[in-house]
Amino acid sequence: MRIWGYLVEIIRGILIIARSFLINMFFHTVAFFGLRPRRPGAVTIQYPEKRKELAGRHRSRHRLTRRENGLPRCVACLLCVTVCPSECIRVEAAEDPDPEIQKRPMRFSIDLGRCCFCGFCVEACPEDAIRMDTGIIELAETRREAFEYGLEDLLR
């Protein structure tokens, strides 16, 4: 008698899965032929061919901004280094010939392999020199050293 209860529940589970499969297959087929499905949430975005638009507040790869004369806007105040929880930013300061700007970065590097993309460095920067608005989210490398982005990489 107990076995019938198990069989009924197994058949019920199979029917639920089959129903979900057929409904999703229908909507995927409709989207494949270019028609708009009624339930847009049921269709998976086909990633490499189609890309979902990133949110405005999304934090992607870092970049350094430039001044009008082409030099980095960073004044090597080391606030980004101080506030970074993963300690992935390294800055070495040098004297700047411009009397209005006391220091400039001689070396500036970010290890994206260690970065947690929290955005604290962007918020702490008083000069608005570092930003995380590149929209680049594909960060795949074969060597760990390739995640080290220097001053020239960040200015590009």
Residues 6+ positions from 109 with CB-CB distance below 8 Å: 89, 90, 91, 148, 149, 150, 151
The CATH number of domain 63-155 is 3.30.70.3270: yes
Place of tokens 């960073």: 74
Question: Would you state the torsion angle of the CA atoms of residues 73, 75, 78, 81, taken in this order, to the nearest 10 degrees?
Answer: 20
More confident residue, 11 or 47: 11
Check if the beta carbon of residue 125 is closer than 8 Å to that of residue 131: no
What does pLDDT average to over the chain? Answer: 88
What is the separation, in whole angstroms, between the first and last Cα of the chain? 72
Confidence (pTM): 0.68
- Could you report the per-residue pLDDT of 30-77, keeping only the tens digit for each? 878 878 766 655 556 777 788 888 888 889 999 999 999 888 999 999
Rounded CA-CA distance 60/55 in Å is: 11
The alpha helices in 33-156, defined as continuous H runs, are 79-83, 120-124, 151-155
> Where in the chain is CATH 3.30.70.3270?
63-155
State residue 121's pLDDT score.
Answer: 95
